Amino acid sequence: METFHPINIPRAVKLERIQDETPSIRSFWFSDPSLHEAKPGQFAMVWVPGIDEVPMSVLAIHGKAEAGVVIKHGGPVSTELWKKKPGDLFWVRGPYGHPYTVGHHHKLLVVGGGTGLVPLLSLLVHFRGRDLTLVTGARTASELLFQDWLIQDSKEHHFRLFFATDDGTYGEKNQAPKLAEQILQKESFDAIYSCGPEPMMKKIYDLAVERHMHVQVSLERVFKCGVGICAACVIGPYLVCHDGPVFSEIELSGMPEFGHERRDLSGEKVPLGAGH
């Protein structure tokens, strides 16, 4: 009875530290043995009683006895979490979902946008020793996530790092998928891994298909249960929470909605950019 596995029962965790990462994004760190072991791309359901329960990517660095969720301020859950302080409790269940698979590819391009960088950070540890190029972007310099961390990690573990900002205030004046396209025009890679806004990932997917490259992306949809029961996250023949959230070109090719449509809270199909 999978739905009654202990990971499916909300458990209280104590916030050990809270850190402002950008003016609109905070990371919340805690100890939880199950989420410490989350694989890159897996998610937790975060519950604020009386408000809502929402999925969030787990930031779990292999070998470290802590886990984190990284939250952009905006919705009811983030507004409530913004009031919390170290020592306060919040509730989680999971980890859930199919993670990124590392495979045997050697030359890798990783492309992240906004908080989509979070599952990719967990993935970097598993790519150490490979020929890695990471591209990450944001609207402006102050919104670049984990900038100092990435710079230090790229020096320690010898991978190439490119920043893109829409307004040119740091790194390349460009958007992350455009910068990735410029890099792909100059050299070839074995595989691409991406997470971020879906229009960005659709461009990355199209670039990979054109070049007959392996690609994996992490999709975001409405999750009500997180365990494949409610079907709120259906896309094509798949349930994002159960069959994903990470999908490869094989599954993505059977999702006509990818990059174009999503389902709102009622289950109705709406254009991808439509308001919630």
We report the CATH number of the domain holding residue 21 as: 2.40.30.10
* Helix axes of 117-124 and 147-157: crossing angle, nearest 10 degrees: 20
* pLDDT at residue 161 is higher than 60: yes
Residue 215 in tokens: 């690609």
Q: Are residues 63 and 132 in the same domain?
A: no
Asked if 55 and 80 count as a contact pair (C-beta separation under 8 A), the reply is no
The domain boundary residue, chosen from 96, 125, 142: 96
Domain carrying residue 233:
107-271
Q: Is 79 left (phi over 0), alpha (psi -120 to 50) or beta?
A: alpha
Query: What is the pLDDT, as a whole number, of residue 266?
Result: 72
Q: What pTM did the predictor assign?
A: 0.92
Residue 231 maps to a domain: yes
Neighbours of 62 (CB within 10 A): 15
DSSP 8-state class, residue 115 = G
Q: What Rg do the C-alpha atoms of the chain give, in angstroms?
A: 18
* pLDDT at residue 173 is higher than 80: yes
Query: What is the pLDDT, as a whole number, of residue 1?
Result: 42
Query: What is the pLDDT, as a whole number, of residue 4?
Result: 55
Residue 102 maps to a domain: no
Query: What is the pLDDT, as a whole number, of residue 186?
Result: 95
Asked if 245 and 98 count as a contact pair (C-beta separation under 8 A), the reply is yes
Return d(Cα 115, Cα 168) in angstroms, integer.
Answer: 19
Return d(Cα 138, Cα 129) in angstroms, integer.
Answer: 27
Q: Are residues 74 and 200 in the same domain?
A: no
Domain count, the chain: 2
Residue 276 maps to a domain: no
Residue 204 maps to a domain: yes
- Using 50, 70 and 90 to split pLDDT, how confident is the model at 62? low
Mind listing the pLDDT tens digit for each residue in 216-238? 999 988 887 888 888 888 898 99
Query: What is the pLDDT, as a whole number, of residue 91?
Result: 93
Average pLDDT over residues 126-144: 94
Distance set, CA 185 to CA 73, 89, 168, 210, 212 (Å): 36, 48, 21, 12, 14
The domain boundary residue, chosen from 70, 96, 122: 96
Asked if 202 and 258 count as a contact pair (C-beta separation under 8 A), the reply is yes
* pLDDT at residue 275 is higher than 70: no
What order do you get walking across the sheet with 131-138 strand by strand? 172-173, 160-165, 131-138, 107-113, 191-195, 214-218, 246-248
Closest CA to 218 of 248, 189, 238: 248
Q: Is 97 helix (H, G, I), strand (E, B) or coil?
A: coil
Q: Which of 32-36, 112-116, 125-129, 245-249 has the highest mean pLDDT?
A: 245-249
Closest CA to 118 of 40, 47, 206: 40
Query: What is the pLDDT, as a whole number, of residue 8?
Result: 84
* pLDDT at residue 5 is higher than 70: no
* pLDDT at residue 15 is higher than 70: yes
Closest CA to 128 of 163, 100, 159: 159
